[in-house]
Every structure is written in C-alpha cells, then in structure tokens.
Amino acid sequence: MTAQGGPHSASAEAQGDLGRRVAARRRELGLTREQTAERCGIAVGYLRYLEERPEAVPGTGSLLRLADVLNTTVSHLTGGDLDTPPGHGRAGHRPEFTELSPAECAVLLGSHGVGRLGVDSAEGPVVVPVNYSVVDGAIVFRTADDGMPALAVGRRVAFEVDRIDDAFCEGWSVLVRGDAGQVTDDAEIRRLAMSVHSAPWAGGDRDLWVRVEPRAVTGRRITAGSAPDRAG
C-alpha cells in the first residue's frame, strides 16, 4: 500500500485541473507531497488541499513557487497552454541530440497513450492521432470501419510518439515503420481486449482492430547542454 504523500499517492485523489497537474508533475519528478511542500515553503496540508479540492484557488506567489519547484510554468499548471502546441518556447542552450537505443525506444513506446499514425489516403498522406497500446512488440489500436485510421489496413505505415517538455527545453520522439493489418481472429481480439492499456477517446463503435508489425524503430532525444561558465 502506497503511503500518503508518496510520489504516486495523489493520482486518484487530485480532482481539479490544477490539482491533477500539480500531482502529475511532481510524480514525473519523483517528488513526495512532503518534499514538494518543503521546497515550496508551504504546509503539507495546504498542498494536499490544492491537489484534492477542485475549488482551490492559490495565490500568485504560491503558484510561482510551485512552478519553480516543479520546473514548469504557471501557464502549464493552470492549463493555460492546453490549446498550444508543445515546443513553442525558446530552444535550450546548446541543444544536444542523441540517438535512442532499441531498448530505450521500446520502453518509451511501452508507456502507451496517444500516437500519430501516418498513412496514405486518396487525397495524399495524412497523419491522425490514435490511442494505442503495445502488445507483444506490435502497435495495436481500435478504430471505426470508416475512420481514417482504417486506411492503414494492408499498407506500410509510419507511427510516431513523442514528448516535449517546454520547461526543460527537452524532448524525445520514437518513429516506427511497419506493416498494418486487421486482426480478425476472435480469440486474438479477445486477448487484445484484455491486454491493451488505452481505449479510444473518441468513443462510439470502434470494433476494427489494427496491428502494426514494426520493420524499423528509431528514436532521438534532445536535451539542453550545460550553460557556459562565466568569468568573474
């Protein structure tokens, strides 16, 4: 049983948008509620209140301290950047690119969530987001028979996942190229239904199961280099 205040303890408790964002960000950094409160100079009970009560409206000073301790921005904590594409901030100092190993790519793909499917259509190439899971090394998702992702069946496709952290000026991306096919075996469909981690956010009848068998998987990570030493 996870102790209250552990890095994962607030996932089910945080109710408001601000509370969810604060709790999620400190979990990303591996911080307990107690550690976060101490670094912010606020009471643990007040941080608990912010995370658990949707009506909580912290002052500007508290928000600024939280953003600083959590290495993010007030705009992100309050959802002000929700409709803004990631990566709009300035580049980090001396950005460095590194190639991800196959093992690193597999771990990042296995985090599941939303990826971008690239496929040919009658009007030309299109890229659409899909909720996906990784099962036995393959990308698996559900869609509607007449949905754009259904065009992937029987074709060579590209599939990409990424994460951009504007606060750190860092990010990564993983690109999968492979062959997509429809899953038709009833037993296999039942197995996938028990194994997947992500359901389609779009809802509705989405009973077409598609599996992408990777032919090539590559990835890159960008980090901000160290700032130069200043004399004197």
Higher pLDDT, 168 or 5: 168
Q: Are 219 and 124 part of one and the same domain?
A: yes
| pLDDT at residue 167 in the model | 58
7 falls within a domain: no
Q: Are 57 and 169 part of one and the same domain?
A: no
Evaluate whether 49 touches 56 at the Cβ level (below 8 Å): yes
Q: Report which secondary-structure segment, H or E, holds 116.
A: strand 113-121
8 falls within a domain: no
pLDDT beyond 50 at 24: yes
| pLDDT at residue 110 in the model | 87
| pLDDT at residue 150 in the model | 93
Q: Are 121 and 39 part of one and the same domain?
A: no
Q: Are 102 and 198 part of one and the same domain?
A: yes
| pLDDT at residue 14 in the model | 41
Higher pLDDT, 198 or 22: 22
Q: Are 69 and 134 part of one and the same domain?
A: no
Q: Are 181 and 132 part of one and the same domain?
A: yes
DSSP state of 152: G
180 falls within a domain: yes
Residue 150, domain extent: 95-224
Average pLDDT in the 150-164 region? 93
Higher pLDDT, 131 or 164: 131
Q: Are 71 and 110 part of one and the same domain?
A: no
3 falls within a domain: no
The pLDDT > 90 percentage for the chain reads 42
Q: Report which secondary-structure segment, H or E, holds 37.
A: helix 33-40
pLDDT band at 206 (very low <50, low <70, confident <90, very high): confident
Q: For the chain, give the number of residues.
A: 232
84 falls within a domain: no
What is the domain count for the chain?
2
Higher pLDDT, 223 or 215: 215
| pLDDT at residue 158 in the model | 97
Q: Are 103 and 218 part of one and the same domain?
A: yes
Q: Are 52 and 99 part of one and the same domain?
A: no
**In terms of Cα–Cα distance, which of 75, 96, 100 is closest to 162?**
100
Residues 99 and 148: their CA atoms lie apart, in Å, by 31
- Burial class of residue 43 in the structure, from the number of CB atoms within 10 Å of its CB (0-12 exposed, 13-18 middle, 19+ buried): exposed
Evaluate whether 51 touches 4 at the Cβ level (below 8 Å): no
Q: Are 42 and 138 part of one and the same domain?
A: no
208 falls within a domain: yes
Tokens 């590209």 correspond to 158
| pLDDT at residue 12 in the model | 36
Q: Are 180 and 107 part of one and the same domain?
A: yes
83 falls within a domain: no
Q: Over the chain, what is the mean pLDDT?
A: 81
Evaluate whether 140 touches 134 at the Cβ level (below 8 Å): yes
- Answer yes or no: pTM beyond 0.85: no
Q: Are 104 and 212 part of one and the same domain?
A: yes
Mark which of 48, 77, 106 sits at the end of a domain: 77
Mark which of 27, 44, 77 sits at the end of a domain: 77
Residues 157 and 232: their CA atoms lie apart, in Å, by 55
70 falls within a domain: yes
Residues 106 and 146: their CA atoms lie apart, in Å, by 30
Evaluate whether 125 touches 119 at the Cβ level (below 8 Å): yes
- Residue 156's domain is classified under what CATH number? 2.30.110.10
- Residue 34's domain is classified under what CATH number? 1.10.260.40
Provide the 3-class DSSP secondary structure of residue 39.
Answer: helix
Provide the 3-class DSSP secondary structure of residue 138.
Answer: strand
